[in-house]
């Protein structure tokens, strides 16, 4: 037994977009299962989660992984937030997904989330001339070379950290707007997708911090003729992945067409700035689905069409979306 550092991570009460908070407790390790990690508390009046006169909130560990930054037996611990009386805190969006999944485990929903983000130093995206603009978009997507991509050392370190933490990261790429990048998590189950995306976001902020760089998930970090940042959510159920699955996928698209506004409501703040109908998006006011169509709300990948089974890509979620809410909404609409 030896002393280890456990970084407890949770989502705060910031509106309209929740932010991440974390603090460290030194405990006896190593940690081999969740039950070894105690509940903890924090001052909710400093995180927009409580009033000053009754400010204690409860942290319950729900997912832990090796801490790739501190190394050794140190761990990262993702928590759900509860009120002092044990009831679910209003900021706890994971609880609803947890309950929903109890009824849908047999459909085996899988999610693959493409998390786009933008690096900033001061008020400019990383690599942009101070107070000015770089060359127009075109050469930057999946680019190579010091004049095309900015921040690769951070991206590489983040990817390695995710792998070391056991997060199911499946790749990275430089994006269309210079200073913008993407990583993908999945395919994994709904709760794992949410947990792993939130911890991967925490790792991104934490690693970029050491470079003096911030990462933002704002869906339109630069106004004008620059791509926004999304979180395309790839989704399948067992029946979609089985023979004849394409019919189930088309059926799901039809169901989704009737719930467009309900979905947009939980797909991230300021998404109207991004879903304009330009820059590989469909207007927020429309719903369309199509094979290989990157201008649609939902894209059915070419391989899915060709194989007659696979998954669909919901292109509407913004980069700042809460994966717990997005996964829950997709399951509600498609699986109920």
One of 66, 125, 151, 186 touching ligand ADP (CB under 6 A): 186
Indicate the residue among 220 and 232 with the shorter CB distance to Mn ion.
232
Pairing mode, strands 289-291 and 298-300: parallel
For residues 128 and 120, the answer to whether their CB atoms sit within 8 Å is no
Distance from chain centroid for Cα 3: 32
Task: Select from 98, 241, 316, 325 the one that contacts ligand ADP (CB under 6 A).
Answer: 241
What whole-number distance in Å separates Cα of residue 320 and Cα of residue 326? 11
Q: Report the residue from 74, 180, 234, 297 that binds ligand ADP according to the rule CB under 6 A.
A: 234
Q: How far is the CB of 227 from Mn ion (least distance, A)?
A: 9
CA gap 235, 190 in Å, rounded? 10
- Contact mark string toward ligand ADP, 54..93, x via CB under 6 A: ----------------------------------------
Name the binder of 239 from ligand ADP, Mn ion, none, CB < 5-8 A by kind: none
Site string for Mn ion, 178-197 (x = CB under 5 A): ----x---------------
The overall longest dimension of the chain from CA atoms, in Å, is 60
Among 232, 263, 274, 316, binds ligand ADP (CB under 6 A): 232
Query: Could you give the 3-state DSSP secondary structure of residue 232?
Result: coil
Angle (CA) 54-58-59 rounded to 5° is: 150
Query: What is residue 176's DSSP assignment?
Result: S
CA 329, distance to chain mean position in Å, is 15
Among 170, 216, 305, 333, binds ligand ADP (CB under 6 A): 170
Q: Out of 114, 157, 195, 322, which residue is the one contacting Mn ion (CB under 5 A)? A: 114
**Using CA atoms, how far apart are residues 180 and 166, in angstroms rounded to an integer?**
24
The count of other CB atoms within 10 Å of the CB of residue 330 is: 23
Nearer to ligand ADP, 7 or 114 (CB): 114
Can residue 67 be called a binding residue for Mn ion (CB under 5 A)? Answer: no
Shortest Å, Cβ 61 to Mn ion: 31
Closest-CA residue to 181 (of 192, 190, 191, 169): 169
CA angle 226, 229, 232 (to 5 degrees): 135
We find the least distance from the C-beta atom of residue 28 to Mn ion, in angstroms, to be 42
Distance of closest approach, residue 170 Cβ to ligand ADP, in angstroms = 5
* Contacting residue, 21, 220, 232, 325, with Mn ion by CB under 5 A: 232
Closest distance to Mn ion from the beta carbon of 233 (Å) = 9
* Spatial separation of the C-alpha atoms in residues 9 and 24, rounded to whole Å: 9
Which of 236, 271, 281, 320 touches ligand ADP (CB under 6 A)?
236
80 binds, among ligand ADP, Mn ion, none (CB under 5 to 8 A by kind): none
Report the residue from 68, 112, 134, 268 that binds ligand ADP according to the rule CB under 6 A.
Answer: 112
Least Å distance, CB 233 to ligand ADP, is 8
Judge contact between 311 and 235, C-beta under 8 A.
yes
CB of 91 within 8 A of CB of 79? no
Q: Does 235 bind ligand ADP (CB under 6 A)?
A: yes
> Rounded CA gap, 154 and 150, in Å?
9
| CA end-to-end distance (rounded Å), the chain | 47
Contact footprint for Mn ion (CB under 5 A): 114, 182, 232
Contact footprint for ligand ADP (CB under 6 A): 110-112, 114, 170, 184, 186-187, 232, 234-236, 241, 310-311, 313
């Amino acid at each position: 037994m030896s002393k280890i550092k456990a970084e407890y991570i949770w989502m705060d009460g910031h509106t309209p977009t929740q932010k991440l908070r974390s603090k460290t407790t030194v405990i006896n390790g190593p940690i081999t299962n969740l039950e070894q990690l105690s509940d903890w508390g924090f001052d909710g009046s400093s995180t927009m989660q409580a009033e000053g006169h009754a400010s204690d909130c409860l942290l319950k560990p729900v997912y832990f992984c090796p801490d790739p930054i501190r190394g050794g037996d140190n761990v990262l611990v993702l928590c759900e937030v509860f009120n002092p009386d044990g009831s679910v805190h209003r900021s706890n969006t994971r609880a609803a997904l947890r309950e929903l999944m109890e009824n849908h485990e047999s459909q085996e929903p899988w999610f693959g989330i493409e998390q786009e983000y933008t690096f900033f130093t001061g008020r400019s995206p990383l690599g942009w001339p101070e107070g000015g603009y770089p060359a127009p978009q075109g050469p930057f997507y999946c680019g190579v070379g010091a004049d095309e991509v900015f921040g690769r050392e951070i991206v590489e370190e983040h990817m390695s950290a995710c792998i070391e933490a056991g997060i199911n990261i499946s790749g990275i790429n430089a994006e269309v707007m210079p200073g913008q990048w993407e990583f993908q998590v999945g395919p994994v189950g709904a709760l794992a997708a949410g947990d792993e995306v939130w911890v991967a976001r925490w790792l991104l902020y934490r690693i970029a911090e050491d470079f003096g760089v911030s990462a933002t998930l704002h869906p339109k970090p630069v106004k004008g003729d620059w791509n926004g940042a999304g979180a395309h959510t790839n989704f399948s159920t067992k029946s979609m992945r089985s023979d004849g699955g394409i019919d189930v996928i088309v059926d799901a698209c039809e169901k989704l067409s009737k719930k467009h506004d309900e979905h947009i409501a939980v797909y991230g703040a300021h998404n109207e700035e991004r879903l304009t109908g330009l820059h590989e998006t469909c207007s927020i006011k429309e719903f369309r689905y199509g094979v290989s169509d990157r201008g649609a709300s939902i894209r059915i990948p070419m391989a899915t069409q060709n194989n007659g089974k696979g998954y669909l890509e919901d292109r509407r979620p913004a980069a700042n979306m809460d994966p717990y809410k997005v996964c829950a909404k997709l399951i509600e609409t498609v699986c109920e």
